[in-house]
Chains A and B, each alone.
Chain A
Amino acid sequence: MAHDSGSPAARRPQDRLDDHAAIDRLTDELLPALVAKLGANGLGELEVREGTWRVRLRMPADGHAAAVRRSPSGRQGARAAEGSRGEHSRTDAAGTAGSGHATAPSGHAPEDATAAGPSRVVATSPAVGYFRPRADLRAGTKVRAGDRVGSVDVLGIGQDLVAPGDGLIGATLVEAGEPVEYGQAVIVLEQLAEPRPHAASATAAQSGPAQSGPAQSGPAAAGPPGHDGTPATGVA
C-alpha cells in the first residue's frame, strides 16, 4: 500500500499521522475482512479505495498467498525502499512500492511483482547478467509456455528467458541492457481469459473466470494509488 500525496519530504506532520492511522486501520480491520471475503466468494482480485489510499488484493493462481511471504530481512525492505526511490518504472510497474514509502507491507518488491495472479505469470531471470529483450515482442504479443521471451547475457553467452505459461506479453520490468540477478522478475505475462486446468483450483473454476482456491486466501499485492494503469497493475 502506498500514498500518492507527493514526496515524503513535502508532507506535513498531520499528513503523517493521518497516514499512520490509515495504515493501522487498513492492516487491523480492512485487510482481514477483505481477505476473508476474497477467500469466501472466489474472486480473483479485489480493490478498495479509502481517501487517498487504495488496497488491492489478488488471489494467486494456486490459492496460496504468494506475496505475503515473511519479509525476508531488513535488507530486502531497504532494497524495496531504494527501488521506489531510484527505479520508479520498475517498482511502479510491479505495483508494490509507491511514491517514496518504505512501508510496503511485504517487503520484497520483485517478489511482489511476480505474484502470480490468476491472470498473470512472470518470466524470471535464469541467471545473473544483462537483460536482452526479444526485439520482435511487443506488449500484447501472444506467447506459449516455454517460448523464449528474451535472454540474459552471462559473460557474453545468452541464457534464455522463458515464458513460464501461455499469455500475452505485459509489462517488462527491466530496461534492456540492465543487470538482473538470478530469479528476478523480468517480464509479466497476462494470461488469457479462459482458465487453464489447475489442480489447486479445479473445484473452484466454475465460480468464475478468475481461479482461486476455496479455502486458502491472502492479499497478493497492494498497489500504489493514483498511479497510471500499466499492464502490470491492471485489474483483471
Chain B
Amino acid sequence: MFDRVLIANRGEIAVRILRACRTMGIGAVVAYSEADRDSLAAQLADEAICIGPADAKRSYLSPSAIISAAIVTGCEAIHPGYGFLSEDSGFAEAVAAHGLTFIGPSAEVLERFASKEASRSLMARHGLPTIPGSEGMLRDDEHALSEAARVGYPVLIKPSAGGGGKGMRMVRTPRELEASLRVCRSEARAAFGDDSLYLEKWLEDNRHVEVQVVVDRYGRGVHLGERDCSVQRRHQKIVEEAPTPALPPASRVELCDRAIAAVVAAGYENIGTLEFLVDRDGSFYFIEINCRIQVEHPVTEMLTGIDLVATQIRIAAGEPLGFGQEDVEVRGHAFEFRINAEDPAHEFRPQAGLVERFYAPGGPGVRMDSHLYAGYDVPPFYDSLLGKLVVWGHDRPAAIARSKAALDELVVDGVVTNRSFHRALLENAAFVEGRVTTNLIDRVGTAAFLASERG
C-alpha cells in the first residue's frame, strides 16, 4: 500500500479522498491552485502544495505541475478525483513514466475506453445493447447530416470526450443539427480540448441508469448495483438515487449482471460506471463508461457499505478485490442531492462569495459530503458543486421523508444554493412516484415543473 498520496483535485471530492486516505493510514498531500489556498482539503491535509494559479489549465489540468508536486512532496501515487485529468490517458501514462501510480485504470485501459464511440462498439462486441448512432466521429456537416438521416431524428449530438452536458445538444431537424454543430464543437473544444462529436439516436422519455463496477487487476470484478440519475437539468445530474424506480428487480439484476460480464471481458480495470439509457419499455442501451470515481458514488456506498474510494486506491496498489458478488448486499434506498451554488430563481445562475453560516444536516442515514465551512469564500473559477446531501432509508418513502427533514436542516448562508429546488422536487408528484425522465424538467421548464405537479 502507498505511504503517501497526492490529491490532484479540489472541493468536496478532495475532502472525500483525504478521508479515505486517513482511514487507510495513508499520508494525504493536497495539490491546490491559488484560488483554493483556504480550501478545507488544503487545511485538513498532512501537507498542501500550491501548484499554480486559479486558471485550471495551469493548475488542476497541468500534468507537469501535478506530477512535479507529487515528486517534490514524496508521494507514490496520484488520485485525480473526477473531472480535470481523471480520465486522461496521456496524464495516466505520464504519471506511470515518472514511476508513480495513477489511481484509476491504467493508461492503456483509459485509452481503450476514452472515446465514447469506440467503447460503444467495444461493449457491443461484448454483448451489450447500444443505441443506434453515427458510424465513428462526424467528419463534417455533410457527414453529420447523412448520418442523422440514417439514424433518424431526433438525435443527440455528443462530444467524444468529457461529460457534464458540455457540447451536448438534442436536435429534431436537419436545420437544428446544422445550427448546433458549430456550438457543440466549440463547447467541447473549450471544455475538453477535443472537438470530436458523434450522434446518438434520442430516445424520448428515457431514463438514465448506471451500473457501478469494481474490477481488480487480476480480472476479478463485481457490480455494486445501479443508480438512477434521471433527474437532470440541461444534461446535468441534480439528484441520483438507487435502486432505480424505472426497472423491476429482475431487470435490475439482469442489467447489472450483463454490465459486469461485458466490462470484465473487455479488460476493464479499477472502479467504473457503465451508463445506460432505459426507454419506456424498460429496454436498456449502453451509452458510455466513466473510468473514474463519480460524484454520485456515495449513493452506492450507502446501499452496500463499501468504501468506493478506498477500494479504488487498493486496486491501484495492486491488491486483489478480496470479495465476490455473493458478498455484496444492496440494502434500502438512497438519494443524493447535489447542493450547487446556483440560483434557481434566476436561471440557475452560478453563485460565488462568502459562506457566512454552514450547518450540515445529521441524524440516522444522513451524510453530507461538503468542503464548506463558515467563512469559506466560494471561488468563481470552478464548478458550482458545494456538497452532496446523501440520505438513506429502508425503502424509498422512508428515504424521501428523511430527505425532506435533512434539506430543511441544511443551512448555507451567504451564497444562494439550489436547496429550494430540491425541497420542491420532493413534493413533486412525478418525482415521488418515480416517473422523472431525463428531459422532463427541461421540456416543462423548471418553474412550471415544480409548480404544476405538486403531489
Contact = CB atoms under 8 A, between A and B. Distances in A.
Nearest to A130: B72
A77 B73 CA distance: 19
Contacts of B53: 182
Interface stretch (A68-76, A87-95, A228-236): A68-76
A73 B72 contact: no
Nearest to B31: A128
Interface string A170-201: 00000000011111100000000000000000
B67 to A, nearest CB: 6
B72 A129 contact: yes
B43 A127 contact: no
B64 A182 contact: no
B72 A74 contact: no
A74 B40 CA distance: 10
Contact of A73 (B42, B49, B52, B59): B42
A139 interface: no
A135 interface: no
A183 B69 CA distance: 13
Given A128-B49, A181-B50, A181-B51, A73 B64 contact: no
A73 B38 CA distance: 6
B158 to A, nearest CB: 34
A73 B68 CA distance: 25
B34 interface: yes
A48 interface: no
A17 interface: no
B43 A128 contact: no
A137 interface: no
A162 to B, nearest CB: 15
Contact of B72 (A75, A76, A128): A128
A130 B69 CA distance: 10
B410 interface: no
A38 B37 CA distance: 31
A127 B68 contact: yes
A182 B72 contact: no
B65 interface: yes
Contact of B67 (A72, A74, A155, A182): A155
Contacts of B34: 182-183
Interface string B27-61: 00000001001100011010011111100000100
Given A179-B72, A183-B50, A72 B37 contact: yes
A76 B42 CA distance: 10
B51 A128 contact: yes
Given A128-B72, A182-B51, A73 B65 contact: no
Interface of B: 34, 37-38, 42-43, 45, 48-53, 59, 64-65, 67-69, 71-73, 98
18 contacts: A72-B37, A73-B38, A75-B42, A75-B45, A75-B48, A127-B64, A128-B51, A128-B65, A128-B72, A154-B64, A154-B65, A154-B68, A181-B50, A181-B69, A181-B72, A182-B52, A182-B65, A183-B50
Interface of A: 72-76, 127-130, 154-155, 157, 179-184
Given A128-B69, A154-B68, A182-B34, 11 more contacts: A73-B37, A73-B43, A75-B43, A128-B65, A154-B65, A155-B68, A155-B98, A157-B64, A179-B72, A181-B50, A183-B50
